[in-house]
A and B are shown apart, each in its own frame.
Chain A
């Protein structure tokens, strides 16, 4: 029998309410992540030149 697969870790929400809504936090993170991906793609295309 094969080895039992491990469960993925679930990231828990902390107790308490932040001073910005969950939606605002998510939007900000997605924007910053998109900028990161853009920089990474730019760096890859620069390396190819």
Chain B
């Protein structure tokens, strides 16, 4: 892994379910548009590796982390909440706290659906950068864009309104793109989606088109 890989990689810690999918897609689009590389546990399909080991490796490879802790509701079937997101946020904060060299320079953004709600269920993270997205993809894009802007002041990052305009255009074209590639939009894997977004963004400003 090169130094630049680390500096541009963002660990994505969020729910991976259909309910969250609109926010997840917007989040990935925003990260790529800002010139960063999203990384998450979904990119690895090596069943021989223990899941937590995969997560350790990805966290170690990312300077940045975006952690959405908004999913605090209990599961309808089990009646229990999921703790993976708070656990992975803790791992990321510990890597920064106890790591040395570049690990100590990690930075993270914590997202929740409502402002200050986190104080009622995870008050120990007060003092971190915590933003609310109100379950709105437009807000997800704007919040992430503004946060990443602070970590690449030398780059000509687009404004939130323009990124949202491009995201709307991309979502309008996604069904036609999937049809040509014989994919179902709702079945897109993280890698398929991220590759598609990455290349689509490149071609929007490419003189070859």
Contacts and interface: CB of A to CB of B under 8 A. Distances in A.
Contacts of A11: 32-33, 35, 198, 201-202
B80 interface: no
Contacts of A27: 180
Contact of B191 (A7, A18, A33): A18
A14 B37 contact: yes
B199 A26 contact: yes
A26 B191 CA distance: 15
Interface residues of A, number: 28
B209 A33 contact: yes
B156 A9 contact: yes
A2 interface: no
Contacts of A14: 32, 37-38, 43, 191, 194-195, 198
B191 A9 contact: no
Nearest to A30: B209
A19 B37 CA distance: 19
Identify the interface centre among A16, A24, A27: most chain B CB within 10 Å of its CB: A16
Contact of B199 (A15, A25, A31): A25
Contact of B181 (A15, A16, A25, A30): A25
Contact of A19 (B39, B43, B177, B189): B189
A36 B43 CA distance: 31
5 contacts: A8-B156, A14-B191, A18-B191, A25-B195, A32-B180
